[in-house]
Amino acid sequence: MFFLGALYLQRVLGYSAIKVGLAFLPVAISIGALSLRLTPRLVMRFGAKATLLPGLAAIVAGLALFSRAPVHATYLTDLFPSMLLLGVGAGLSFPALATLAMSGATPSDSGLASGLVNTTQQVGGALGLAVLATLSTTHSQNLLASGRSTASALTGGYHMAFAIGSALVIVALGIAFTQLRSDRGIQAQEAPVDELVAEPQQAYGEEAA
Domain chopping of the chain, boundaries: 2-208
What does the pLDDT average to over 181-206? 50
pTM of the model: 0.83
| Domain 2-208 CATH superfamily | MFS general substrate transporter like domains (1.20.1250.20)
d(CA 25, CA 135): 27
How confident is the model at residue 181, as a pLDDT? Answer: 77
Asked which of 9-13, 62-66, 107-111 is least confident by mean pLDDT, the reply is 107-111
pLDDT (tens digit, 9 = 90+) per residue, 74-98? 999 999 999 999 999 999 999 999 8
d(CA 86, CA 94): 12
Confidence of residue 188 (pLDDT cuts 50, 70, 90): very low
Question: Under 8 Å CB-to-CB from 21, ≥6 apart: which residues?
Answer: none
Confidence of residue 185 (pLDDT cuts 50, 70, 90): very low
Return the closest-CA partner of residue 187 out of 40, 8, 32: 40
Question: Under 8 Å CB-to-CB from 37, ≥6 apart: which residues?
Answer: none
d(CA 74, CA 148): 21
